[in-house]
Amino acid sequence: MARHYQHEPQFGPVLAEIQRIGAVARIVQPLYLAFSRIESLKTLAGVRGN
């Protein structure tokens, strides 16, 4: 199957791109969630501090 897709000019790059995006998303999503939590905590702390 892999060889078949490599010889298909339309599907090969698309599948590679989907896999790459998926891998990046798995890395970025938890970082983004952690960042947004930290930012919301900072905002709450700032409001309480004032």
Consecutive 10-residue averages of pLDDT for the chain (50 residues): 58 90 95 95 82
Dihedral angle sign, alpha carbons of residues 9, 11, 12, 14: positive
What's the confidence (pLDDT) of residue 10?
74
Query: pLDDT at position 3, please?
Result: 59
In the chain, which ranges are E strands? none
List the domain range (segments joined by +) for residue 36: 2-49
Neighbours of 17 (CB within 10 A): 10
What is the predicted pLDDT for the residue at 49? Answer: 66
Burial code (b: 16+ CB inside 10 Å, e: under 16) for 38-48 equals eeeeeeeeeee
| pLDDT for residue 9 | 64
Taking the whole predicted model, whether its pTM rises above 0.75 is answered as no
Q: Please count the structural domains in the chain.
A: 1
